[in-house]
């Protein structure tokens, strides 16, 4: 993804670099460096930017909250070569399992001792 496209995505959301970075859980300098062409975003960041482009920043904010709860956001932002994808899937699976356990407890009335 080139610097012009990144800037276009951000401007389409009506956000400053600082606001955009905050919504993505990044430092404003990351966005500035991407838009200036100083550094290229990681593969994972490109995926995140693509989600913003397709669905809007609010979609990513909601997803980010969910990912933070599961501890996934940090893994995604570190995934520069796709090497942690398997690890990411394991964390997601654990999160799903925890949600299922929680629902089962609620259905039983939480009477587990």
Q: How far is CA 90 from the centre of its chain?
A: 16
- At CA 33, angle to CA 28 and CA 37, rounded to 5? 155
CA 79, chain centre distance (Å)? 11
The pLDDT value recorded for residue 37 is 92
Q: What is the pLDDT of residues 26-71, one digit of tens each?
A: 888 889 999 999 988 888 788 888 888 988 888 777 555 555 555 5
Q: What's the pLDDT band for 14 if we cut at 50, 70, 90? A: very high
For residue 55, the model assigns a pLDDT of: 85
Higher pLDDT among residues 113 and 7, named by residue: 7
Please tell me the predicted confidence (pLDDT) of residue 9: 95
pTM of the predicted protein model: 0.56
Q: Where do runs of H (alpha helix) occur along 3-109?
A: 3-12, 17-24, 28-36, 43-55, 57-70, 73-78, 85-107
């Amino acid at each position: 993804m080139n610097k012009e496209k990144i800037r276009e995505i951000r401007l389409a959301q009506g956000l400053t670099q600082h606001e955009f970075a905050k919504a993505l859980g990044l430092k404003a300098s990351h966005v500035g460096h991407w838009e200036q062409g100083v550094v290229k975003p990681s593969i994972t960041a490109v995926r995140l930017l693509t989600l913003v482009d397709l669905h809007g920043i609010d979609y990513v904010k909601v997803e980010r909250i969910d990912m933070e709860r599961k501890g996934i956001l940090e893994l995604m932002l570190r995934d520069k070569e796709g090497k942690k994808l398997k690890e990411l899937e394991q964390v997601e699976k654990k999160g799903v399992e925890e949600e299922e356990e929680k629902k089962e407890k609620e259905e039983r009335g939480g009477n587990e001792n």
